[in-house]
Amino acid sequence: MTEEMIFSKIIHREIPADIVYQDDLVTAFRDIACQAPTHILIVPNKLIPTLDEVAEEDEIILGRMMLVATKIAKREGIAEKGYRLIVNCKDNAGQEVYHLHMHLLGGKPLGSLLGSC
């Protein structure tokens, strides 16, 4: 899947977004459909449709995503009490945009992620 996705348009600043961080590997911006007081998406600048399509050469990108998440959590004031990072992979997990992305959520107690089986 190589079609231009909405996140690519945000990365290239072709459409408006509240970008809170950007470097040569990743971009982070506020989710417009927020699920918590702080809800930021961290995406690789390279189009990787799903987690299953990450290659060995993408290892540095994934590491950068994690480091950026911790930096943003501190800057947003949610690091001390805690936050959640979520990566959905494909339809059954709820992935809606097929450009790998990590959700950074915090700012309130988030409760249990999953219910009973």
Active site residues: 101
Torsion of CA 12, 28, 1, 61, to 10 degrees: 110
Distance CA 76, CA 17 (A): 17
